[in-house]
Amino acid sequence: MRRNASWFWLMIVVCASGLDARGDDVSLRPRQTASEKPPNVLFIAIDDLRPELGAFGVSYAPTPNLDRLARQGVAFTRHFVQVPTCGASRYALLTGRSPAESGVTRSNAACYQGNSALSAQELPGAQTLPELFRRSGYRTVLIGKISHTPDGRVFSYNGKGDGRHELPNAWDELATPFGSWKRGWGTFFAYRGGRHREDGGGHRDLMEFTAEKDEDLPDGLMAQTAIRTLEKFRDTGRPFFMGLGFFKPHLPFVATRRDWEAMADVAVPTPRHPDPVKSPNWHASGEFYKYKAAFKKTRPLAEKDSLAARRAYLACVRFTDRQVGKVLDALERLDLARDTIVVVWGDHGWFLGEVALWGKHTVFERALRSPLIIRAPGRIKRAGRRSEAIVETLDIYPTLIDLCRPSFRKTRYRLDGKSLGPILRDQARSVRVAATSYWGRAISLRTKTHRLIARTGPKGLSRVELYDLGDGPDPVSNVAKSQPDVTRDLLKLLR
């Protein structure tokens, strides 16, 4: 979308940076002295992860390792992404730019196509988060999906492309293991034994739980590769920035046999509101329904079939949580934990049958809310807290600058987020009043109590929806007319 589109009035209070940087210096704290060792960064992205973790108060969540991390840091229970799709959400994260500035409200290929493509040249200011750390002397390594492609190289689903780095000048090493799947997109849509969605078979089975070992699947191989890379880092003494992007629980639902069996007797609730809603922001869950299933894929799914699909998703969460645990254990074993900041981020949420949705790609609550956990030894006061502050994905970039104080501070564009350092240091309870998210021509504003949704166009805002989140996270009752004062105040914020 072009910069001169009518709705780019959205450089508003809600998206205001709070930083003094204008594509220039983004210093937040005094620089380190020569004797101080800069902290390492382990950034873990998990695809399609809902905020259903034990640390977030969900009793049936199979997430002991993520819960352990949260006990050692701060869990942000009201974190919202900028865009509910993989590539655009990650573009906002990596560039620190609001969609109101970049125009990237939908595109998965934002890093390498169109007006928002990143320059292959090294510019005076860093274009992305890992590039800034690399130019600060960090060793930067990518394993898995941090930008949109699953290995950091520009290839399409069918394997065609030139293979250049999706994030120019960002990574010293692209280390995603391919195993028997042979290429990146093969690993992303993988089944056991080298089969994958893009090998000519199309959308195969919705779920498969036949693997016996974690290393029979790509995420298991990535955890193994991450551990071996950490072993090398231990001996160099050079600070590192590792991007580790796990694929599951993204479709298809594939994990080991033991993960499926472990969820068989877990009391997983079915959706409270399983029926579709009338809204321009509802969709038909096309990706989910393309996969083949042992049950009949009705709309909505029958209760027993919905429960099977929800358990399959949670089995994948269990599998990924175990991989995270292995890497956290390696940090401890290698004596790297006390010098390493760990961030776990979900690139967006996911619907599991609520209002008959299976997927993301909407500005409803469940597609925009995802987990964010930060562990920063020596930089957090009162670890183990759950913060209910409204925070955005845009806030991660300035937060890492605040915590790490890298020597290179120049960014290509102004950062549109706010550091969460004051919350981590227990100096403030919040840093913003609302979070703003986008999907195509839809825009959504999230406060502590409500979610406002509107469509944008040449004549301004239209088709306004308001949801009172005291009634739950699902869009059932549009209260825009019955709560006119709230609607008016939130529209003022957007305008």
Q: Which helix (H) or strand (E) holds 188?
A: helix 184-188
Question: How far is residue 456's CA from residue 106's CA, in Å, rounded to a whole number?
Answer: 14
pLDDT band at 10 (very low <50, low <70, confident <90, very high): very low
Neighbours of 433 (CB within 10 A): 12
**In terms of pLDDT, which residue wins out, 492 or 2?**
492
Of the residues 86, 111, 316, 404, which is catalytic? Answer: 86
For the segment 37-53, the average pLDDT, to the nearest whole number, is 97
């994030």: which residue's tokens?
Answer: 167
> Binning pLDDT at 50, 70 and 90, where does residue 407 land?
very high
Half-sphere exposure of 116 (CA within 13 A, CB side): 27
pLDDT at 20: 34
pLDDT above 90 as % of the chain? 86
Q: Stretch 125-136: mean pLDDT, rounded?
A: 98
- Quote the pLDDT of residue 31: 42
pLDDT tens digits, residue range 204-230?
Answer: 999 999 999 999 999 999 999 999 999
Q: What is the pLDDT of residues 252-299, one digit of tens each?
A: 999 999 999 999 989 999 999 999 999 999 999 999 999 999 999 999
Average pLDDT of 42-63? 97
Taking 60 as the threshold, does the pLDDT of residue 71 lie above it?
A: yes
pLDDT score of 33: 45
Mode of pairing for the β-strands spanning 442-446 and 450-457: antiparallel
Question: Cα–Cα distance between 83 and 439 in angstroms, integer?
Answer: 6
What's the pLDDT score for residue 200?
82
What value does the mean pLDDT of the chain take?
92
In the structure, how many helices (H) and strands (E) does the chain have? 13, 18
pLDDT digits over 164-219, tens only?
A: 999 999 999 999 999 999 999 999 999 999 999 988 888 999 999 999 999 999 99
What the block records as the tokens of 163 is: 């293979």
Among 79, 148, 283, 361, the active-site one is 148
For the chain, state the CA radius of gyration.
21
- The Cβ-side half-sphere exposure at 480, using a 13 Å CA radius, reads 14
Task: Output the pLDDT for position 116.
Answer: 74
**Backbone region of residue 263 per phi and psi (left: phi > 0; alpha: psi in -120 to 50; beta: other values):** alpha
pLDDT the model gives residue 186 = 96
Residue 210, CA distances (Å) to 191, 192, 197, 257 in order: 9, 7, 17, 5
Entry pTM:
0.93
Q: Tell me the C-alpha distance between 407 and 77, whole Å.
A: 31
pLDDT for res 494? 85
86 catalytic per annotation: yes
Q: How many residues does the chain have?
A: 495
- What gap in Å lies between CA 405 and CA 400, rounded to an integer? 8
- Find the mean pLDDT for residues 391-396: 98
Cis peptide preceding 177, ω within 30 of 0: no
The Cα 72–Cα 55 span in angstroms is 11
Residue-wise pLDDT for 301-339, tens only, equals: 999 999 999 999 999 999 999 999 999 999 999 999 999
Which residues partner with 343 through β-bridges? 43, 374
Q: What pLDDT sits at residue 12?
A: 38
Cα(427)–Cα(422) distance, rounded to whole angstroms? 5
Tens of pLDDT, residue by residue over 430-459, are 999 999 999 999 999 999 999 999 999 888
pLDDT band at 343 (very low <50, low <70, confident <90, very high): very high
| The two structure tokens encoding residue 11 | 């450089």
Percent of the chain whose predicted confidence (pLDDT) is above 70:
93
Domains of the chain: 37-433 (3.40.720.10), 449-495 (no CATH)
Cβ-contact 372, 389 below 8 angstroms? no
Kindly tell me if the per-residue pLDDT of 353 is higher than 70. Answer: yes
Q: What is the pLDDT of residue 202?
A: 83
